[in-house]
Structure 1
């Protein structure tokens, strides 16, 4: 509550009365239907007519009639009165506040609601709300003037408090009834943008899953097997971030159930980022990420992007869109801005480790598969434990570590054994590499030296973004560098035989680095590699920014075309307004948490 401001209003409305002579053609028509028809242009719903009749405010030839189903004979003199709006402390009141108005005329307004703003006053919601700001901008919407609901004047659909985007509001009761009828009749096209965890298995689909209250958590909704109300959503994956981390999805809802998009996307295994209610476990894990993405989903990432509706007065279609707010765009821009993953390969003894050491001395994040294997083979290491379980103590030392020489000799003798050992150890190394890249996600570039990266197909499956191959003259590699490592020629030849030939390995690389002179030359090649990697990383950031700038208008143009082709929206203006009882809920869009 804003200090010094009451959200109630107590002005008494002027009472109105209407008088008609029933035509003979109306013989047999119900009294409530007669007045609902006659007062439709006045913005009076049939439900309100029924209230007046039951309150004794309807006269037939001077006699009070309190039953709406009273049948007319024709040619009676009929009179009905407006009871006005009784003083009420719970009526919403005007409160100054910022509203971003996208469209406005005498009948309707379309607002780009900001995240964090509740739609209307409700128990437990101190305000101010969107309704309070509407009343300040358009005072005639107030219930004592317009005859609309005290706490929800003008509202025909809602958005969750933490959902941003387009909302249409009615400025008169008649316009509200017509819009509500179109919402109820599914003649309004609503498309939302959501950022969801992971990548849906199907690029597009329809979720037809009835919804109701959660069986044990009454403040939440859920897909239910029995007793649920129809709920239908169409989704389309627009883009997925690197390694399937998260996806941008467009969702069109055909029904307007409470939290429909949030429930449906969680139902197919991809809850919205930032939605702790319907993706609690996933979002706790997200919040614990070791990078800046952890703090970039402070709310459910949902935005009402595109709205197409029939104008209640002119019947012309109004189609609008609004780009997502800053927090939504910041998250999208950050998703592909992970470190550029650079893999380093080369033949045994080619100088890969020396190149990595040079990068490490320059302060770059580096990973060595050889060092990782050494740790796995050490006493207590996962690799030693796995080999011990598989082969007993055949290849273990007394301290529990791996006897590398014994294992090497056995692998030389048996190709099957070598492949089995590789199948046990390589997934462990790969997991460590992935964890290394994740832990350095916020760095521009990170390097991993993995001798069998090409053989493992990492360069094709997206595990790395760029592969640099170290090329060393064979005479130097098998002579000088082999001797520095204390390796005999036969052992080096065995290691060579377990890898692709050098020509094939280097042909699969994006960049070749030469180790044909001394360490100074290798240092300069390391600097060249890092310069090129930084250029590539910078280009990716620019590509992401440009992509987002292009995305919104292109996406809106596509949705405009789809709306034009949607025959379900091309209906002529109907004379009937509202649903049989004219109730406010009949035209509900996705309902806010205030009603949960």
Structure 2
């Protein structure tokens, strides 16, 4: 039985930062290990400190870090301050503005920049930069100013930002109705067999690792997800592909490409940071390690973005160059591929 250490979690001075209900099939697992699979960017030390300080509650009772989570447990992380992501501060951070008018802007996000604040990333995000650049950005349905859509921290590329409520509604509907255009360039492991194809498979949270998404091919769980891909360049043990999104689910391209056996190069969350194709030669291993250093993130770039303008009703299409790290990695693979017999 867990030890009671403090007030009930509905105490008005406590704020809920995370809430998870353990699934029916949950095997007994220490609460600190369990939460590692749910809280993005949190370290084991941070979670253990939260437990030590009495901030982890299970079924309305404070527990220690060695508490064993079981099926049906209601786990909450509670602090005496509101979640930092709701305390948005404008920050003078340079942003690459590709286009801007009175109602919207298109920005080219560099790799490594988080789009919106969340656990472990409370400042330095694109939203912090946008709040400095623009006054009175409208909130989306998740209370995130200006955001019509998002891309992952280590994905680079184009995003459209709404500057008025009307633009937010008009642009969001295009993404919902699948009429916006989004093309990504990716480097994936292996030689993709078909020159082009379509990947279909509902996406939902992974049953065991909640930081990953998972394909449910029967459509019994998750949401519909469709990705169209086309081979751009075959480079021996990797392939450069263009992916066009019909839907825009979390980690969609990353999970769909892994699902067909072609994990994105250096995608740590989905196993792409290991050598998945190639030879056992030491020289090859060294070559891949060097390429990982050149491109220290998943090889994914949001290259093209198209949508109908909320006011002029004209279709606008924006294109961006591959960032230097991806372009250099492709050049290295091109050079290597020439020497593969």
Return the alpha-carbon distance in structure 2 between the equivalents of residues 266 and 147 of structure 1: 34
Residue 306 of structure 1 is aligned with which of 299, 304, 309? 304
Give the match for residue 7 of structure 2. none
SS in 2 for 1:178: helix
Return the alpha-carbon distance in structure 2 between the equivalents of residues 268 and 217 of structure 1: 20
SS in 2 for 1:211: strand
Residue 175 of structure 1 is aligned with which of 167, 176, 179? 167
8 A Cα contact 1:131 1:151, kept in partner: no
Residue 285 of structure 2 is aligned with which of 282, 289, 292? 289
1:545-560 map, 5 Å: none
Return the alpha-carbon distance in structure 2 between the equivalents of residues 295 and 250 of structure 1: 23
Cα–Cα, structure 1 residues 172 and 228, in superposed 2: closer, same or farther, change >3 Å? same
Compute the displacement of 1:295 (Å).
2.4
1:196 aligns with 2:178: no
SS in 2 for 1:121: coil
8 A Cα contact 1:266 1:278, kept in partner: yes
Q: Higher relative CO (CA 8 A, sep ≥ 6), structure 1 or 2?
A: 1
Return the alpha-carbon distance in structure 1 between the equivalents of residues 338 and 224 of structure 2: 46
Residue 102 of structure 1 is aligned with which of 94, 98, 105? 98
* Residues 223-243 of structure 1, C-alpha deviations (whole Å, 9 max, x = no match): 0242121110000001011xx
Give the match for residue 129 of structure 2. 133
Compute the displacement of 1:274 (Å).
1.0
- Greater gyration radius: 1
Give the match for residue 208 of structure 2. 216
* Residues 358-414 of structure 1, C-alpha deviations (whole Å, 9 max, x = no match): xxxxxxxxxxxxxxxxxxxxxxxxxxxxxxxxxxxxxxxxxxxxxxxxxxxxxxxxx
Of Structure 1 and Structure 2, which has the larger fraction of its residues in helix? Answer: 1
Cα–Cα, structure 1 residues 175 and 279, in superposed 2: closer, same or farther, change >3 Å? same
1:239 aligns with 2:233: yes
8 A Cα contact 1:251 1:261, kept in partner: yes
Return the alpha-carbon distance in structure 2 between the equivalents of residues 268 and 234 of structure 1: 12
Residue 333 of structure 2 is aligned with which of 332, 335, 340? 335
Return the alpha-carbon distance in structure 1 between the equivalents of residues 140 and 203 of structure 2: 29
Moved over 3 A (4+): 146-151, 280-288
Give the match for residue 418 of structure 1. none
Give the match for residue 376 of structure 1. none
Return the alpha-carbon distance in structure 1 between the equivalents of residues 299 and 337 of structure 2: 24
Return the alpha-carbon distance in structure 1 between the equivalents of residues 90 and 188 of structure 2: 37
Return the alpha-carbon distance in structure 1 between the equivalents of residues 291 and 103 of structure 2: 43
Compute the displacement of 1:103 (Å).
0.7
Compute the displacement of 1:279 (Å).
2.5
Cα–Cα, structure 1 residues 340 and 322, in superposed 2: closer, same or farther, change >3 Å? closer
Compute the displacement of 1:340 (Å).
6.5
8 A Cα contact 1:91 1:151, kept in partner: no
Compute the displacement of 1:97 (Å).
0.5
8 A Cα contact 2:201 2:225, kept in partner: yes
8 A Cα contact 2:98 2:105, kept in partner: yes
Give the match for residue 115 of structure 2. 119
Cα–Cα, structure 1 residues 209 and 278, in superposed 2: closer, same or farther, change >3 Å? same
SS in 1 for 2:334: coil
Compute the displacement of 1:293 (Å).
2.7
8 A Cα contact 1:188 1:307, kept in partner: yes
8 A Cα contact 2:184 2:301, kept in partner: yes
Return the alpha-carbon distance in structure 2 between the equivalents of residues 294 and 128 of structure 1: 25
8 A Cα contact 2:139 2:147, kept in partner: no
How big is the alpha-carbon RMSD for the aligned residues of Structure 1 and Structure 2? Answer: 2.4
Return the alpha-carbon distance in structure 1 between the equivalents of residues 337 and 251 of structure 2: 35
Cα–Cα, structure 1 residues 88 and 184, in superposed 2: closer, same or farther, change >3 Å? same
Stretches of structure 2 that go unaligned for 5 or more consecutive residues are: 1-81
1:185 aligns with 2:177: yes
Of Structure 1 and Structure 2, which has the larger fraction of its residues in strand? Answer: 2
Compute the displacement of 1:147 (Å).
6.1
1:271 aligns with 2:263: yes
Give the match for residue 459 of structure 1. none
Residues paired across the two proteins, number: 251
1:252 aligns with 2:250: no
TM-score (norm 1): 0.40
1:206 aligns with 2:207: no
Cα–Cα, structure 1 residues 219 and 339, in superposed 2: closer, same or farther, change >3 Å? closer
Return the alpha-carbon distance in structure 1 between the equivalents of residues 142 and 332 of structure 2: 43
